[in-house]
């Protein structure tokens, strides 16, 4: 039996939908939520809804009973990145103790030099989780997912269509943004097939894009000129402050913009494309789906 965690989140939900779409029997699928009221969308599907929290070993041990394959969707804990590592370790320990045979873990795209990047702490959490998993003795598959295309509109700003300006200190850096649903589709395909024991996969788009290209793509879709401006970080931060953006978001935007500027997520790879059996969604296709007047 397969168990997918993070079922109340976007990735987990999509992975479960794809497992069902691929013809896996609902009787062979279990989903983990920490709040049962968030599992309503699964009621009609026939999958087994189990309750557990990454911070609560006993709940995980109960939830993982009878599971042979586990898709561990990484935590989104926003308090501290170290919390995520501890939570992943907790799940891996419980899975081992419950007799799970194979753990699939959603990690993040990484390239040499990541230790010096703006997202080093975040990356280190994945490195430590991966190391713990590899040393656990349980079969593993690591899915090093690229940065979601869905982050592009967040970084471009909600007023981009009206203002015609993207303000983001990403300079000329590029990243291989990839659609979350396609990552989830591939994860479902991998978990439901054989031959992935102790492998690590780079799952990114086949080409990387810059924010100048994001501006061009939005311009083409809305038929209005959008320009990209990459200010100094301090100027960017004081502009966001003037607009009343909370400190936490200012820090987050600065971190990701700097990471893009450092090209730390610029990893072009064909692995996702071959698992999908088609070309991954491009930036322009995604931008059309978000900004085209319906
Ligand atoms: N590649 C990227 O660009 C990118 C971007 C953002 C995030 N991520 C990572 O990828 C993961 C999946 O992405 P997503 O878009 O699906 O995120 P999401 O929609 O925020 O979903 C996160 C899921 O993790 C669950 N979760 C968090 N803490 C938990 C805990 N202590 N115990 C049990 N479940 C817990 C959440 O449950 P609740 O509904 O109960 O909160 C939710 O179901 C994220 O959690 C994050 O680690 C990757």
pLDDT at 64: 98
Helices (H), 107-159: 120-134, 151-156
Q: Is residue 49 part of a domain?
A: yes
What confidence tier does 45 reach under pLDDT thresholds 50, 70, 90?
Answer: very high
> 293 CA to middle of ligand 1, Å?
30
pLDDT at 79: 84
pLDDT, tens digit (0-9, with 9 covering 90-100), for 140-171? 999 999 999 999 999 999 999 999 999 999 99
Tokens at residue 101, please? 């045979």
Are the beta carbons of 112 and 150 closer than 8 angstroms?
A: no
Q: Mean pLDDT across the chain, nearest whole number?
A: 97
pLDDT, tens digit (0-9, with 9 covering 90-100), for 172-196? 999 999 999 999 999 999 999 999 9
- In this model, does residue 293 exceed pLDDT 90? no
Count other Cβ atoms within 10 Å, centred on residue 227.
13
Check if 59 has its Cβ closer than 6 Å to any atom of ligand 1: no
Q: CA 237 to CA 251: how far, in whole Å?
A: 8
Q: Is residue 24 part of a domain?
A: yes
Are the beta carbons of 149 and 179 closer than 8 angstroms?
A: yes
CATH, residue 181: 3.40.50.720
Check if 151 has its Cβ closer than 6 Å to any atom of ligand 1: yes
Q: Is residue 139 part of a domain?
A: yes
Q: Is residue 245 part of a domain?
A: no
> 115 CA to middle of ligand 1, Å?
23
- Which atom of ligand 1 lies closest to the CA of 150? 3
Alpha-carbon distances of 283 from 147, 218, 233, 253, 280, rounded to whole Å: 12, 10, 25, 20, 10
Q: Is residue 217 part of a domain?
A: no
pTM over 0.85: yes
Q: Can you tell me the mean pLDDT for 122-137?
A: 97
Q: Is residue 225 part of a domain?
A: no
Residue ID of nearest Cα to ligand 1 atom 27: 75
Q: In the chain, how many domains are there?
A: 1
- Which atom of ligand 1 lies closest to the CA of 13? 16
Could you list the residue range(s) of the whole structural domain that residue 187 is in? 2-146+176-204+267-280
- In this model, does residue 294 exceed pLDDT 80? no
């Amino acid at each position: 039996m397969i168990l997918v965690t993070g079922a109340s989140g976007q990735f987990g939900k999509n992975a479960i939908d794809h497992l069902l779409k691929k013809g896996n029997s609902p009787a062979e699928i279990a989903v983990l939520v920490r709040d049962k009221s968030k599992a309503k969308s699964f009621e009609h599907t026939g999958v087994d809804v189990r309750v557990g929290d990454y911070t609560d070993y006993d709940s995980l041990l109960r939830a993982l009973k009878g599971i042979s394959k586990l898709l561990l969707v990484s935590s989104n804990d926003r308090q501290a990145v170290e919390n995520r590592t501890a939570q992943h370790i907790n799940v891996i320990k419980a899975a081992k103790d419950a007799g799970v045979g194979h753990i699939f873990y959603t990690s993040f795209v990484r390239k040499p030099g990541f230790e010096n990047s703006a997202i080093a702490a975040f990356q280190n959490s994945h490195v430590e989780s991966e190391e713990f998993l590899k040393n656990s003795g349980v079969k593993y598959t690591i899915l090093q997912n690229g940065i979601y295309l869905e982050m592009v509109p967040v970084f471009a700003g909600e007023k981009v269509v009206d203002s015609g300006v993207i303000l983001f200190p990403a300079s000329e850096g590029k990243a291989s943004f990839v659609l979350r649903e396609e990552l989830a589709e591939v994860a479902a395909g991998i978990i439901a097939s054989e031959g992935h024991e102790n492998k690590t996969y780079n799952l990114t788009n086949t080409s990387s894009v810059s924010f100048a290209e994001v501006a061009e793509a939005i311009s083409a879709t809305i038929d209005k000129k959008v320009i990209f401006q990459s200010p100094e970080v301090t100027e960017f931060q004081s502009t966001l402050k003037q607009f009343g953006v909370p400190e936490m978001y200012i820090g987050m935007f600065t971190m990701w913009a700097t990471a893009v500027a450092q090209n730390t997520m610029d990893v072009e790879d064909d692995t996702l494309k071959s698992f999908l059996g088609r070309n991954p969604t491009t930036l322009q296709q995604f931008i059309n789906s978000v900004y085209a007047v319906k």
